[in-house]
């Protein structure tokens, strides 16, 4: 039965509910407001906790009113939870705290980029198209459609656009708006 509590947890991770509850308070205080998906993704990605222990501990800290769910489905820390985080967080291993915060920040950063630099893959008859767009103020300011030979390449393009779309846009705009040289201008009469 002990394996159920440690399954998926790397050495040095947390298996004690009390420590997991402290870590949850610490994360919500340090990085909140924060969604359940972000908390879960960060802690499981880093193999710091077991899914079942995570779910139980999250329900416990919510029931104990250490964190609350706001209208946007994001957890925020309460005064009581803040006291727990301030008083007990340093009882957790430093590597666990740092790894958890780093993973949360990575997920939040990726979600922010994905909201701005949108990319999706369409497959039709074995052909893949990656649709990329950058939005600003409710409309797209940049769109790009790329044909890719296979699903793996399409997924790579999608991920890279999400990560670097703003840089791509900036470089394209720089190239398109810099002053033309004589070689760049069409011959007279072809305009």
Give the start-to-end residue ranges of the domains of the chain: 2-114, 115-177
CATH no., domain 2-114: 1.10.10.10
117 with 160: CB under 8 angstroms? no
CA 22 to CA 19: how far, in whole Å? 5
C-beta of residue 77 within 8 angstroms of C-beta of residue 85: yes
In 10 A of CB 167, how many CB atoms? 10
Give the per-residue pLDDT at 1.
Answer: 44
3-state helix, strand, coil in the chain (%, to 5): 55, 20, 25
Going residue by residue through the chain, which has 191 residues, state the pLDDT in tens, using 9 for 90 and above.
455 556 777 777 788 889 999 999 999 999 889 999 999 999 998 899 989 999 999 999 999 999 999 998 999 999 999 999 999 988 988 988 899 999 999 888 888 887 788 999 999 998 999 999 998 777 888 999 999 999 999 999 999 999 898 889 889 888 888 877 777 777 777 65
Choose among 93, 112, 91, 87: nearest CA to 31: 112
pTM over 0.75: no
Q: Are 24 and 42 in contact (CB under 8 A)?
A: no
């Amino acid at each position: 039965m002990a394996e159920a509590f440690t399954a998926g947890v790397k050495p040095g991770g947390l298996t004690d509910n009390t420590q997991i509850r402290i870590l949850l308070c610490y994360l919500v205080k340090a990085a909140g407001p924060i969604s359940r998906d972000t908390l879960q993704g960060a802690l499981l990605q880093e193999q710091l906790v077991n899914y079942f222990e995570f779910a139980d501990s999250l329900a416990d800290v919510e029931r104990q009113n250490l964190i609350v769910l706001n209208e946007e489905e994001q957890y925020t820390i309460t005064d009581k939870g803040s006291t727990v985080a301030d008083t007990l967080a340093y009882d957790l291993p430093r590597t666990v705290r740092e790894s958890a915060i780093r993973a949360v920040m990575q997920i939040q950063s990726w979600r922010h980029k994905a909201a701005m630099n949108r990319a999706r893959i369409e497959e039709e008859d074995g052909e893949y198209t990656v649709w990329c767009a950058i939005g600003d103020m409710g409309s797209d300011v940049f769109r790009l459609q790329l044909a890719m030979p296979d699903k793996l390449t399409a997924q790579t393009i999608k991920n890279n656009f999400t990560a670097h779309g703003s840089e791509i846009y900036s470089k394209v705009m720089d190239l398109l708006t810099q002053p033309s040289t004589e070689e760049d201008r069409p011959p007279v009469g072809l305009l």
